[in-house]
Amino acid sequence: MKRTEIFKEIDGLITTYCEGCFLHFHFKKEFSKSYAHKFCINQCTVGQKLQEKGKILINNQK
């Protein structure tokens, strides 16, 4: 898979699911920005998909 295709997939995920996310907004408001960020990375299914895409990018560089 080409890098540009992976970047398009990442952009699509962020645009579709992350921009305006209610959970991120709620956690940021109730707890903190770092708490919301940690939630997105560790518990959100979209965050997990983004991590998978990132790993593919890293492995393609080697």
Return the pLDDT at 61.
77
Domain boundaries, the chain: 3-61
* Structure confidence at residue 62 (pLDDT): 63
Q: What is the pLDDT of residue 60?
A: 83
Q: How does DSSP assign 5-61, residue by residue?
A: HHHHHHHHHIIIIITT-HHHHHHHHHT-HHHHHHHHHHT-HHHHHHHHHHHHHHHHH
* C-alpha span between 38 and 2 (Å, rounded): 29
Residue 11, pLDDT above cutoff 80: yes
Whether residue 29 has pLDDT greater than 70: yes
Instruction: Report the pLDDT averaged over residues 46-61.
Output: 92
Q: What is the pTM of this model?
A: 0.83
